[in-house]
């Protein structure tokens, strides 16, 4: 293929991506019964703010070809990428099928832009040819009832982040995709498969960073503290098994007080009590802390997430 034809192919793929803005959550390139087919679908429907969702990418190629696993970084659009996994490829009916599962957590509610996904297909000779799953959108519903003061609805993920207008996002995307297509020769070298699982501590600290940069502390202190305490509570649940997100502060503190030797040292219990009770003043008593107190609360959460290690349970028959 000469350079002129190659450039036209790249620009055609870019045009497909831009025309697909506002498409449904199920995005495909090529007909399902075609020789080359790729699709991406996000479930469940509806996607809930802060709840885990999964994007399933299916690629069907002729026998003798294989799919180069797509690469995902720390985020996909306005969603945090928590995991990337692949099913073993299958060969049936003269078709080679690859399926990838991308774990996502949306960081804001509303209609979210889904960037296009470039896929490379490698034939038996090792030559690469591109597929492009077009851009789209997905509706994310908020899980919060603004009139409710129940701690059972605390979020297990990062908070909403500031959004660019979709037109600006499309323009930025166009520039990024064009740069990748033209500067890197349309993915001529194999792409590494980013299939790294994050630890509970890494997930919690990533969510805290998103919260810090969201500007929510300046616009809605109550929701900011809901998210801040939610990050800590989910971290506790993931590291100790205690269902902290479903308990009120009083219930949680009473629970860890009755099992002092299981997970929390007296110092950790005291830090948690001060942190959660201060946050409750903002969430439910409409107390407005000074900016310095907000920053101190965030640093207190970060310190706990960074240093907390669950204590080993006492041995049976040992001293209490």
- Whether residue 314 lies inside any domain: the answer is no
- Whether residue 319 lies inside any domain: the answer is no
Same domain, 83 and 231: no
> What is the distance between the alpha carbons of residues 156 and 144, in angstroms, rounded to a whole number?
12
Same domain, 167 and 90: yes
Same domain, 179 and 204: no
Same domain, 67 and 131: yes
Q: Domain of 34?
A: 3-183
Helices (H), 106-248: 166-183, 200-213, 216-219, 221-240
User: Domain boundary at 156, 183, 210, which?
Assistant: 183
Window from 107-121, 185-199, 239-253 with minimum mean pLDDT: 185-199
User: SS3 of 151, please?
Assistant: helix
Bigger pLDDT: 291 vs 15: 291
How does residue 216 score in pLDDT terms, banded at 50, 70 and 90? confident
| End-to-end Cα separation, the chain, in angstroms | 76
The pTM assigned to this predicted structure is: 0.43
The dihedral formed by the CA atoms of 150, 155, 158 and 160, expressed in degrees to the nearest 10 = -60
How does residue 313 score in pLDDT terms, banded at 50, 70 and 90? low
**96, 75 Cβ separation under 8 angstroms:** no
* Number of folded domains that form the chain: 2
Same domain, 68 and 207: no
Same domain, 175 and 204: no
In angstroms, the Cα distances linking 59 to 90, 180, 313 are 11, 21, 47
> What is the distance between the alpha carbons of residues 74 and 76, in angstroms, rounded to a whole number?
7
> What is the distance between the alpha carbons of residues 222 and 11, in angstroms, rounded to a whole number?
47
Same domain, 139 and 260: no
DSSP class of residue 289 equals: -
Same domain, 177 and 206: no
Same domain, 58 and 206: no
In angstroms, the Cα distances linking 183 to 7, 10, 154, 256 are 11, 11, 44, 56
> In the predicted model, what is the mean pLDDT of the chain?
74
User: Domain boundary at 149, 183, 217, which?
Assistant: 183
pLDDT tens-digit readout, 243-275: 888 888 888 888 887 765 467 888 888 888 888
User: Domain boundary at 183, 210, 238, which?
Assistant: 183
């Amino acid at each position: 293929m000469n350079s002129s034809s190659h450039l036209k192919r790249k620009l055609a793929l870019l045009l497909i991506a831009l025309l697909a803005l506002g498409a449904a959550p199920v995005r495909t390139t090529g007909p399902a019964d075609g020789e080359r087919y790729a699709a991406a679908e996000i479930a469940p429907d509806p996607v809930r703010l802060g709840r885990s969702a999964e994007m399933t990418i299916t690629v069907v190629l002729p026998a003798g070809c294989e799919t180069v696993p797509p690469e995902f970084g720390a985020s996909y659009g306005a969603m945090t990428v928590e995991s990337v996994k692949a099913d073993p490829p299958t060969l049936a009916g003269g078709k080679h099928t690859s399926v990838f599962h991308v774990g996502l957590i949306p960081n804001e509610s509303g209609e979210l832009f889904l960037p296009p996904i470039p896929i490379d297909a490698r034939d038996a000779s090792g030559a690469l040819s591109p597929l492009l799953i077009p851009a789209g959108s997905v509706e994310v519903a908020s899980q919060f009832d603004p009139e409710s003061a129940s701690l059972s609805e605390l979020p297990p993920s990062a908070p909403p982040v500031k959004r660019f207008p979709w037109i600006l996002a499309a323009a930025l995307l166009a520039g990024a995709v064009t740069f990748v297509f033209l500067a890197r020769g349309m993915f001529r070298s194999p792409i590494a498969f980013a299939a790294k699982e994050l630890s509970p501590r890494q997930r919690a600290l990533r969510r805290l960073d998103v919260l810090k940069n969201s500007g929510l502390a300046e616009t809605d202190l109550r929701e900011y503290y809901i998210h801040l305490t939610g990050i800590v509570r989910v971290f506790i649940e993931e590291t100790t098994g205690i269902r902290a997100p479903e308990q009120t502060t009083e219930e949680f503190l009473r629970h860890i007080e009755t099992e002092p030797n299981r997970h929390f040292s007296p110092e950790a219990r005291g830090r948690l009590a001060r942190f959660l009770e201060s946050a409750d003043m903002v969430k439910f008593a409409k107390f407005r802390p000074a900016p310095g107190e907000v920053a101190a609360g965030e640093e207190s959460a970060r310190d706990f997430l960074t240093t907390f290690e669950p204590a080993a349970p006492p041995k049976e028959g040992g001293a209490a």
